[in-house]
Amino acid sequence: MISIPSQPVRKFAPPVASSTSSPAVSGVPRRRFLRSAASLAAGATLVMPRSLTAAERTRSAGANGRLRIGIIGCGDRGINAHMEGIHKHVGAVDFEITAVCDPWRVAREKANAKVKEWFGREARAFVSYRDLLAQGEVDAVMIASPDHLHTLHLEAVARARKHVYVEKPLGYDFAALVRAVDAVKQAGIIAQVGTQLRSLPGIVGARDLFRSGVLGKLSRIEECRNTDRPYWYQYLKEVKAEDVEWREFLHDRPMRPFRADLYSGWYGYYEFSRGPISGYGSHFIDMVHFITGAKFPSACVCLGGTFTWQDEHAFTAHDCAQATWIYPERFLVSSSNNLGNGFGSCRKFYADKGVLKVDNWNAPTYSAEGGPRRDRSIRGEKPVPPVERPDHFLDWLLCLKQGGTPHAPIEAGFQHGVAVLMADESYRTGRKVTYDPIRRALLPA
């Protein structure tokens, strides 16, 4: 196994900027796209760029200190979360979006309309992430591609020595997760993973409260996150085949005729997304790690299926599932998702002196309820004192400009990735799965 080297995070250090003209929209010719796809299919590897010199590492972004950002994935998350999320901080950190990338022409054009509205000129537009990374006017990249492409894009960005913000869940395939994390560590780039609960004042306050010891010894953490309909239905759109580079989306999945529901509603297909235990569960598990300080589960079991939503779309991601993890710190974690009935959602940390209730991310509470060793130190139900900190996007931008470790570093992404992939392995095999942190291996019990 390749070990993850322990390195301090380097301060923002983009590669030397070339002297170029203003960005312009540039579509990718189909022949050029097919050559890129053929190279990938033939097993071509990305070449690690040369190491940067000390002078290059300390040089400011761009010719005038402006940070230049590229967007990989211009769907709902890429535009409405990533682009809108950083744009509100443009007054605090000097940056510009200089490149956008998406296989769907309509998404590229929608993203570029935002860029022109905000910055007065369009970004360069690309079909493939390879072409975005090959051009010189990008210092940092935000990845909001479908789940099955996260580690592919993350590894490529790291090897191109660009700093990165990458969406969760970090892992879809365990071997690819390890390669991508190793590439980030070896490149020394600043990486923020999109588990943004770590940046919420209520969750930071919950961490501080738990670590004060007032709740005592933890026994169980439980989440029931229920909805009356799977979240993937909201993303279904009318998409024309001629507007999409279908192979760029499929990547290494088998070629098949284009389907608009598969392309726009990919969350609902197990081939492209591991379902709610991975989608919802990555947030929950990362919150568990953040609050408790735990890193990796030692064992996991998971069951589920597609029980309620069987229709013309033939979705295959489970709409009902439950995963249970055991941690070496001697507590149990349970994540249950029912996407066929919205009643009964809850989120609680049970300990021997009381319970922490995080049913509302922004306003958690705690009480002595149920604690067999409660000692009158908690009276009634109390709000958790919030701890203010920069939001997740601003934290990343500030780290790029000033240095420091982001709220959700790559190590945290690896930890939640291991946990949800343990659950997925158990779901697929019907067996209990264990994790060996020394060998970084998922093993049958």
pLDDT, mean of residues 42-66: 41
Read off the pLDDT band of 109 (50, 70, 90): very high
Q: Would you state the pLDDT for residue 64?
A: 54
Question: Which CATH number goes with the domain that contains 334?
Answer: 3.30.360.10
Strand partners, 401: none
Which residue range(s) make up the domain with 111?
A: 30-197+396-409
Give the containing element (helix H, strand E) for 69: strand 67-72
Shared domain for 188 and 235, answered yes or no, is: no
Quickly tell me which residue has 């609902």 as its tokens: 268
Q: Is the pLDDT of residue 31 over 80?
A: no
> Rounded CA gap, 197 and 356, in Å?
16
* 3-class state of residue 288 by DSSP: helix
Q: Is the pLDDT of residue 28 over 70?
A: no
Phi, psi of 397 (to 5 degrees): -60, -40
Q: Would you state the pLDDT for residue 136?
A: 79
Strand partners, 67: 95
Quickly tell me which residue has 């007065």 as its tokens: 120
The predicted-structure confidence for 291-341, as pLDDT tens digits, reads as follows: 999 999 999 999 999 999 999 999 999 999 999 999 999 999 999 999 999
Counting the structural domains of the chain, the total is: 2
Read off the pLDDT band of 50 (50, 70, 90): very low
Selection from 266, 358, 214 nearest residue 75 by Cα: 266
Q: Is the pLDDT of residue 252 over 60?
A: yes
> Rounded CA gap, 355 and 349, in Å?
6
Read off the pLDDT band of 3 (50, 70, 90): very low
Shared domain for 269 and 313, answered yes or no, is: yes
Shared domain for 383 and 254, answered yes or no, is: yes
Shared domain for 284 and 140, answered yes or no, is: no
Q: Would you state the pLDDT for residue 32?
A: 33
Mean pLDDT lowest among 55-59, 312-316, 347-351, 436-440: 55-59
pLDDT, mean of residues 382-404: 97
pLDDT, mean of residues 364-389: 97
Contacts of 277 (CB under 8 A, 6+ apart): 302, 304, 318, 321, 323, 335, 337, 420, 423, 424, 427
Q: Would you state the pLDDT for residue 308?
A: 96
Q: Which two tokens stand for residue 41?
A: 């299919």
pLDDT, mean of residues 337-357: 97
> Rounded CA gap, 211 and 265, in Å?
40
* Beta-sheet strands, E only, within 89-157: 95-101, 124-126, 140-143
Residue 7 in domain: no
Residue 6 in domain: no
pLDDT, mean of residues 60-79: 83
pLDDT, mean of residues 254-268: 98
Q: Is the pLDDT of residue 24 over 90?
A: no
Can you state the angle between helices 276-292 and 410-429, rounded to 10 degrees?
130
Residue 13 in domain: no
For the chain, percent of residues with pLDDT exceeding 70:
86
Shared domain for 226 and 374, answered yes or no, is: yes
pLDDT, mean of residues 17-25: 34
Q: Would you state the pLDDT for residue 445?
A: 87
Q: Is the pLDDT of residue 44 over 60?
A: no
Shared domain for 366 and 269, answered yes or no, is: yes
Shared domain for 180 and 245, answered yes or no, is: no
The predicted-structure confidence for 6-17, as pLDDT tens digits, reads as follows: 333 333 333 333
pLDDT, mean of residues 255-272: 98
CA atoms within 13 A on the CB side of 105: 12
The predicted-structure confidence for 165-222, as pLDDT tens digits, reads as follows: 999 999 899 999 999 999 999 999 999 999 999 999 999 999 999 999 999 999 999 9
Strand partners, 100: 71, 125
